[in-house]
Amino acid sequence: MLHKELNGIRYNKAAVNREMRAGELANRTEGSVEFRMQNISAALYELRMPFIAGYKPARNIGADVKQKMIALLSAYGIESLEPYVPTDDASELALRVSTLRQRHLGIAPKGSTAPVATTSTITTFVRDPAVKAWVLHAAKGHCEACGSPAPFVGNDGLPYLEVHHVMPLASHGSDTITNAAALCPNCHRRCHYSKDRDEFKITLYERIPRLILEVPELSGETVLPMQTSSLA
Ligand SMILES: [Zn+2]
Ligand SMILES: [Zn+2]
């Protein structure tokens, strides 16, 4: 109906309601179908998407109902809704956020007061504490990329810096002092998420003499993109 309406094609709302109750929604009343349509409108309204004019958005739609509606609408081919669907995949989330940031966001989203928890298998690497400690000690409280002092004192009373593997462990980089740098959080994020991360990586090799360039092993395995795993 929405597609028809957006394309200026006339249709009969009551007839569609009857049709739905004759088919998929056989045990529903006319009113319950109406209400369902108004829930869909409410979800669309909140997303600043067009909705069917004859179905005024239902008030006080619950966050869970809204998410269900969005998932349904997106399954029915309203592709532009996909970025609004919650996800537990970190890289997919980043992608959706990026897409939405480039759109007109409209009214503030309700979000969820009780986000669903999921468990998944993630690959982590066994790391040598001595390597990390040595690299942090060598940095003497200053970021090895930009030279700034650590932004704050950590809960262990020591200057807070993060250790980054220049050749990622997921790309078969080594857990050694010649592949690890102590960075401030900004520079660390830049290594993983910035547009210029490849160039920035080269400057790390230039600035930190102990680093040795490692070549990613060609093993036929898929190398995880940097953004997917947690910072390492
Ligand atoms: Zn820095
Ligand atoms: Zn890192």
Distance, in Å, from the CA atom of 55 to the CA atom of 61, rounded to the nearest integer, reads 14
Ligand nearest to the CA of 181: 2
Ligand nearest to the CA of 161: 1
Local structure of 23: helix, strand or coil: coil
Assign domain 129-207 one CATH number from 1.10.3470, 1.20.58, 1.10.30, 1.20.5.
1.10.30
Ion ligand 1 nearby residues (CB, 5 A)? 143, 145-146, 184, 187
Distance, in Å, from the CA atom of 129 to the CA atom of 142, rounded to the nearest integer, reads 19
Distance, in Å, from the CA atom of 209 to the CA atom of 180, rounded to the nearest integer, reads 12
The alpha carbon of 188 and the centre of ligand 1 are apart by a number of angstroms equal to: 7
| Amino acid at the residue 186 | N
The alpha carbon of 150 and the centre of ligand 2 are apart by a number of angstroms equal to: 16
The alpha carbon of 136 and the centre of ligand 1 are apart by a number of angstroms equal to: 13
At residue 58, the pLDDT reads 82
Ligand nearest to the CA of 127: 2
Angle, CA 228 vertex, CA 224 and CA 229 arms, to 5°: 85
Q: What are phi and psi of 28, to 5 degrees?
A: -100, 155
The alpha carbon of 44 and the centre of ligand 2 are apart by a number of angstroms equal to: 39
Q: In b/e form, how buried is each residue of 92-104, taking b as 16+ CB within 10 angstroms?
A: eeeebeeeeeeee
- Helix locations, 61-139, DSSP H: 63-75, 90-101, 129-138
Show Cβ contacts of residue 8 under 8 Å, excluding neighbours closer than 6 positions.
Answer: none
The alpha carbon of 39 and the centre of ligand 2 are apart by a number of angstroms equal to: 43
How deeply is 76 buried, as exposed, middle or buried, from its count of CB atoms within 10 A (0-12, 13-18, 19+)? Answer: exposed
At residue 79, the pLDDT reads 63
Domain ranges of the chain: 2-101, 129-207
| Amino acid at the residue 179 | N
The alpha carbon of 142 and the centre of ligand 1 are apart by a number of angstroms equal to: 8
Distance, in Å, from the CA atom of 190 to the CA atom of 205, rounded to the nearest integer, reads 15
What beta strand segments (E) does the chain contain?
162-165, 180-183
At residue 56, the pLDDT reads 85
The pair of three-digit structure tokens given for residue 117, joined into one six-digit string: 């928890």
The alpha carbon of 207 and the centre of ligand 1 are apart by a number of angstroms equal to: 12
Show pLDDT as tens, one digit a residue, over the chain (232 residues): 776 666 567 888 888 888 888 887 888 888 888 888 888 888 777 766 667 778 888 877 777 887 787 777 777 766 677 787 788 888 899 998 888 888 766 567 777 788 888 888 888 899 999 999 999 999 999 999 999 999 999 999 999 999 999 999 999 999 999 999 999 999 999 999 999 999 999 999 999 999 999 987 665 444 444 444 456 5
Ligand nearest to the CA of 229: 2
At residue 180, the pLDDT reads 98
Residue closest to 181 by CA, chosen among 213, 157, 158: 213
Task: Write down the pTM of the prediction.
Answer: 0.62
Decide if 168 contacts 104 (C-beta within 8 A).
no
Decide if 166 contacts 198 (C-beta within 8 A).
no
At residue 232, the pLDDT reads 59
At residue 227, the pLDDT reads 45
Distance of CA 80 to the CA centre of its chain: 16
